[in-house]
Amino acid sequence: IYYKYKRRSVVLNFRKDIAMELDTNNHSVFMLNYHLIMCVKYRNNVIDDAISLGLKRYLKTYALIIIFVGRIEHDIDHVHVIFRAQPRTELGKFINAYKSASSRLIKKEYPEIKKHLWKDMFWSQSYCLISTGGVTVDIIKEYIQTQGR
């Protein structure tokens, strides 16, 4: 095993065919990949390509220093996000803040969407957050790429 530092990352090579890129901070080395699924309130079919682009833009802007967004895909009633985070990140607070801000901005940018929502609520209160430790990120990326097809 050898360590190769690259912009606050560590690459571990156990064998020539297996390499893992790990994140670092001042006192630790980690790899925290997550799969987040957020659903529209009552699974209303309101997410199209334009709204999805807005959600991606808001997430990448909002999450710039908190998390690293790997991939975002959508279906007509939910969104999949793969991201990496640091151990000190409060994921619940981040997700709820993003849902609140994105809901407000989507309704402002696309006012016609309000007629398809229940009481102007865009997101469901719940979400699904899964650690991807047991599955490779490539398999999850392949899964969410097929959403909406």
110-143 confidence digits (pLDDT tens):
998 888 888 888 999 999 999 887 566 677 777 7
Of the listed ranges 10-14, 88-92, 93-97, the least confidently predicted one is: 10-14
Q: What is the CA radius of gyration of the chain?
A: 17
Cβ pair 81, 39 in contact under 8 A: no
Q: Is 87 left (phi over 0), alpha (psi -120 to 50) or beta?
A: alpha
Helices (H), 81-127: 91-109
Asked whether residue 13 carries a pLDDT value surpassing 60, the answer given is: no
What is the rounded distance in angstroms from the CA atom of residue 115 to the CA atom of residue 120? 8
Q: Would you call 56 helix, strand, or coil by DSSP?
A: helix
pTM recorded for the entire structure: 0.77
Residue 5 has a pLDDT of: 34
Of the listed ranges 18-27, 47-56, 92-101, 127-136, the least confidently predicted one is: 18-27
What is the rounded distance in angstroms from the CA atom of residue 58 to the CA atom of residue 106? 9
Confidence of residue 10 (pLDDT cuts 50, 70, 90): low
Residue 31 has a pLDDT of: 83
Q: Between 118 and 78, where is the model more confident?
A: 78
- Catalytic, 143? Answer yes
Asked whether residue 108 carries a pLDDT value surpassing 80, the answer given is: yes
